[in-house]
Structure 1
């Protein structure tokens, strides 16, 4: 399939998207969705902008190619916040092109993947690929938060037999992704004057000890899962022993265990420690949100086809699990579909102040997406 003109196209699209601020919160993906919608309309695709919750929006474009299976290309327009802009070596919204890379917030996660998916559609259309079926392209909002974009997408009736999620996997095939549970732990102690700490029950000290206990003990419970304390808040004044401490816990499941099951095990671990060591303290543990792990069979048609295409391109083709959570978790809760995660850029630079994507990977990703679609929608029956 010819790459003529695609490299400049994906570079220009990536840079334009990076220059549109879609930090989430608040999201404000409408401008980016409008830009993408103009591109898909120019390609001759049936295009719809789904607006919701103020300035939030998805763009959906459909390539119809007769009767057959359907594939959804799904990636997201929103990004995590920039944070302290002065800590960035380069302006995160300038989309600087340097040494074969594009730098900026969202370059890898996931405006580069969006551009590569658009590049794949351009290649399929301009090469007049002989397909049998339908390609649904969705550039969605809110992936970095509650996934409202993909949830709205499937609730509006958009479904497919196969789903390819565009995320920064360094073009490594991922046959699914880890799930994510966000817990809130609140420890209650007793206040006292800081000059008489023995009269109080220090909730911050207790929480710090519980973090150590969790970190050392959890590997014996579910060794392939990951648990991390990420946000902590406690105390009311520097001269008062803190009577409360709130902790956010990020939990990543390698298999679909279920939030309630994990909470029960975590609750048992914490309650045992509190009973043994901190009888005057109390705590509450709650689930804030849950996106389950998704693991697609190695034998599935989509995984086998993607592996074959990557092998032909001399890239890593043995499937692994994507370590982060993606919209595949949300989509497959509503539709029965085989799914993979695959895209340009590395997760190592995503969410950092030095985020970038390799231009070579952007172009190669377009070719790989197009080849996978061509093979999947060839009309040949899977054996």
Structure 2
């Protein structure tokens, strides 16, 4: 008995056929829960406190004491229109095929092989699927609740996405940034505005320049895995008419930091950066950083990472080299909230967040085989 590519294809397509933008995943969660039940798992559909995005937890219990190992993925997708789902050229096409319903299907197929083999194994194998992953609509609130308030715990977790041919040893932390610059009074005609009244748009320009200089300073210090920390602006909003003196201006962007830094330190640094501009301009400048995910790192020699590297080499015949990434993902939540050692590994798809998204069926099968080989090593170590 082994990985069945046809089953992988069919489950991926079935999941992709159910639209599930972040915040609206109940239908696909119910479908996925039924599929886990069909392969013999004990399934919970946790819809409190997130009824529109219930958490799916499926358990396969071993026959002897041992570690609880989680395979995790998300069922939500970015809210970007896509052509209707289809199978063509050995690939599944459609929104979520690569990010990350195909990877969720690969995890499911690995669990199915274990379940239907009837073999005894130590501990428990748990599948966890969430629906509040894609920012800004989701920031892992459901996973944070599961690992925190709900009290779910495990010994190891594999998040089934990111580099399919590298060991992600670290990634950045990220927050969204919203800066509001306000002056007293209401908007007024430019010729009827008292001399010396600050213009929030011009004050915003000073903030942007201060951030540019700060980025230059940050560029001089590179973390060995993820590189330099960054500030970024992607939006500027100010004024409502060409000859009205505005009362507000808003900047929106991101702040990314390396392992070892924190959201609190990043907030304090930002407040310190804008304080003199606020004092000199007479405007109020409010900076709000909202966490997307924290920074993450794992020792490449941790037993979980060693098991993944060995499983990868067994399946592919190639070594799994360590790397760092700037993107953020849910391994940071498993580590920061649950204290659970976590690694990333997912099938390589194409077009995540792009107009056209797809994933090769054989790539899904390869990942399922790597999960199985990794599990065998973890069980052997138990």
Q: State how 1:1-383 maps to structure 2 within 5 Å.
A: 2-3=2-3, 6-24=4-22, 27-52=23-48, 53-65=50-62, 66-82=64-80, 85=81, 91=83, 94-144=84-134, 145-154=138-147, 155-189=149-183, 191-194=187-190, 199=195, 201-221=198-218, 223=222, 224-272=228-276, 279-289=281-291, 291-312=293-314, 313-315=316-318, 317-346=320-349, 349-378=351-380, 380=381
Gaps of 5+ in 2: 223-227
Local SS of the residue matching 2:35: helix
Q: Retained in 1: the 8 A contact 2:73–2:130?
A: yes
TM-score, with normalisation over the residues of structure 1?
0.86
Query: Residues 184, 336 of structure 1: CA spacing in aligned structure 2 closer, same or farther, 3 A cutoff?
Result: same
Partners of 2:272 and 2:117 in 1: how far apart?
59
Local SS of the residue matching 2:101: helix
Q: Once the 2 structures are TM-superposed, how far is the Cα of residue 316 of structure 1 from its aligned partner?
A: 5.7
Cα offsets for 1:309-334 (capped at 9, x unmatched): 22331456122234322222223233
Q: Retained in 2: the 8 A contact 1:176–1:341?
A: no
Q: Once the 2 structures are TM-superposed, how far is the Cα of residue 140 of structure 1 from its aligned partner?
A: 1.2
Local SS of the residue matching 1:255: coil
RMSD value, Cα? 2.5
Q: Once the 2 structures are TM-superposed, how far is the Cα of residue 226 of structure 1 from its aligned partner?
A: 2.9
TM-score, with normalisation over the residues of structure 2?
0.86
Q: Retained in 2: the 8 A contact 1:274–1:282?
A: yes
Partners of 2:276 and 2:88 in 1: how far apart?
54
Partners of 1:355 and 1:241 in 2: how far apart?
45
Partners of 1:51 and 1:159 in 2: how far apart?
18
Gaps of 5+ in 1: none
Q: Retained in 1: the 8 A contact 2:41–2:58?
A: yes
